[in-house]
Chain A
Amino acid sequence: QVQLHESGPGLVRPSETLSLTCTVSGASISGYYWSWLRQPAGKGLEWIGRIFTSENSNYHPSFKSRVIMSVDTSKNQFSLKLSSVTTADTAVYYCARVFGWELDYWGQGTLVTVSS
């Protein structure tokens, strides 16, 4: 059974970099695209980007200037870095596996609050 688990700081200061890691179990990270999404409290889902390998990724235009994703196949993990955060980046962040043209396995989500 494929499982994903997000980890990282729950509190980030404004202007700093949000860093999250998604650990995948039950499947090899190789051979799939993996995505990050977020959901502000009480709002809908927003896709941030996806990664296949560290050289093959693409991002939502709204985040492109400040997001970097990477993959560590030795640890079966992939990561998100979002720089220059503001309070508008406060949200539950999800990692998910890309299956075809949709997302079939999701982590449980992790709340990241941007506050001084």
Chain B
Amino acid sequence: EIVLTQSPGSLSLSPGERATLSCRTSQTVNSRYLAWYQQKPGQAPRLLIYGTSTRATGVPDRFSGSGSGTDFTLTISRLEPEDFAVYYCQQYDNSPAYTFAQGTKLEI
């Protein structure tokens, strides 16, 4: 099973600042298989990025994804108040099909 590790576990920033979230995988992952989600308290996760760098429908362009191999990054260029949430990376593999990292909490 591929293990995903996000860093940092939490990140304190201010609106307008740039956020850089890291996701490392224990084995090389096909870049098509790496996604990012945003989850706010009491809500379901929301798909932000898939295929490492493609924004899902309706996701603002201040969100961008990059990376390859075992190192992937989610960048939020200029934080808006509504961006403070928990972010998860997720990868697809044979078994189990979907695994998630433990999350990064982005705090004001």
Contacts and interface: CB of A to CB of B under 8 A. Distances in A.
A109 B103 CA distance: 18
A104 B102 contact: no
A75 interface: no
Interface residues of B, number: 24
A5 B44 CA distance: 11
A46 interface: yes
Contacts of A58: 95, 97
A60 B1 CA distance: 11
Interface residues of A, number: 23
A101 B88 contact: no
B23 interface: no
Interface string B53-95: 0001000000000000000000000000000000010101001
Contacts of B46: 106
Contacts of B33: 101
B35 interface: yes
B96 A44 contact: no
Contact of B96 (A47, A100, A102, A106): A47
Given A101-B35, A101-B50, A102-B50, A61 B45 contact: no
B93 to A, nearest CB: 9
Given A101-B32, A102-B35, A47 B45 contact: no
Interface string A31-74: 00001010000001111001000000010111000000000000
Instruction: List the 6 shortest-distance A-B pairs measured between CB atoms, nearest first.
Output: A101-B92, A102-B35, A106-B44, A47-B98, A60-B96, A45-B100
